[in-house]
Amino acid sequence: MELKGRKVTVVGLARSGVGAANLLADMGADVTVTDRQSEARLSEMVSRLVPSVRRVLGGHPKDLFMSAEMIVVSPGVPLEIEQIASARAAGIPVIGELELAYQIMDKARGGGRIPFLAITGSNGKSTTTTLLDYMLKKGGFKTLIGGNIGNALTEEILKTVRGETLNLRGNGKGCNFPQDCVVVEVSSFQLDSIERFRPHIAAILNITPDHLDRYHSLADYGSSKARIFENQTEEDYIVLNADDPEIEKVENQRLKGKVGGPNVLYFSRSRKVKGIYFRDGNIYCDMPRISCLPEHPFISAADIKIKGVHNLENAMAASAMALLAGCPQGAVIESLREFAGLEHRLEFVRELDGVRYVNDSKGTNVGAVMKSIESFDEPVVLIAGGRDKAGDFSELSELVARKVKALVLIGEAAGKIKDAIGNLTDTVMAEDLKDAVTLCRSKAVNGDVVLLSPACASFDMFLDFEDRGRQFKKIVEELS
């Protein structure tokens, strides 16, 4: 990828846009970044741009797209907008920030492929990605971690290669990256804009309804997830959730009978598979080239520090990927015993009057909330609501009727959720999050769990899911 002097338009000034623009500028490209929002709204991101990057904010002028030699799109920008569609029709290359990072690293290695370990899915991506990175580091690997997890890969590359700029600009030497591999969390939006992205080891954790405000159907959404193995060959591996019916559909449509496709392994909570699976309270491993004995437990599930049924799946997926990458078994097992999980994912906040308060603000879709509720044997008082992402809240019906003793609703989607499942349990509407916590306290008794798991986006009331989770924790900690 020759970039010196090339005219590049970067679309979207979030973390990915800033990372892409700065790396492109460092490599000698002529970079302009554009965003629909005003400079005042984007002041923090603007301050992170290097001086040579031009800014066109408050709109997307069509000529800025049509005059570009390449367009790099941030994940939050739909590829269907008129300006991008016109540029594509004119033959202008359009790629995403993930693809840009991949191509730069692929070329900079001078033909020596640096392995990408990539994780996608509707839920659990960040936990699995972070756990996998933890395992590899414990096993002695030097890793670079980034992607949808919150730090753009392009930004991480730029940090890594400071002082190697001439090599990145193409003097023929290649850049000797110190990392053994790249661990990357990948969203469907990022996969929509790939071309050559080819992870050596990939995983699809689950496919449940999400982002249906952007995709036409669950099948379309699943097709985007499936692109993670689109360019894989028989030298590569894909790890799939054997218990997920949507993944089974994708596998049947895209992998079964594919000549030259990746090696397929599985993880499962319900049955024995070629890969890694749960049975009778233990995790077992049956994988090629791995010296685990299938008849002997790999680890007891009780010894895995992160709890919850979805975290059991995350732990199995990360373990399979780490073992395939050559991580020592001892390092994988130690990591499972030590890794405490991430903030806002079934995060224990405190116990008060015998009631446990749990922050699962990252539960932004129905599928995530189902897994969260399944993780508790105790009665649950659930806080849900926010900005709807075209979720089908009726899918919660069976669990709510069986396990949720009270439902406290907030935000724009409160009415829609009440109409869908409000008749199944004691349901009340709250004015805001503080009011919701107060109502939960009045309904919960010794032995109950108060769970914030909204099944919605946060942007109607909060900056993001992290802001929502931190406000919840602050309110709970201040309860007397």
DSSP tag of 457 = B
CA dihedral 205, 208, 214, 215 (to 10 degrees): 100
- Is-contact 453 383, C-beta < 8 A? yes
The reply, when asked if residue 126 is annotated as ligand binding, is yes
User: Residue 317: how many CA atoms within 13 Å on its side-chain side?
Assistant: 32
150 is in an annotated binding site: no
Q: Both tokens of residue 474?
A: 């602050």
Alpha-carbon span 416 to 467, nearest angstrom: 23
16 marked as binding residue = no
Is 375 labelled as part of a ligand binding site?
no
Q: Is 123 annotated as a binding residue?
A: yes
Q: What's the rounded Cα separation, in Å, for the pair 93 and 13? A: 19
Q: Which residue's entry shows tokens 């790999």? A: 298
275: annotated binding-site residue?
no
Report the candidate in 204, 177, 196 with the shortest Cα–Cα distance to residue 321. 204
Which residue type, as a one-letter code, is found at position 363? G
Distance CA 396, CA 248 (A): 22
State residue 45 phi and psi, 5-degree precision. -70, -40
394 a known binding residue?
no
First to last CA, the chain: 60
Binding site for ATP: residue ranges?
A: 121-127
Q: Please enumerate, by residue number, every residue annotated as part of a binding site.
A: 121-127
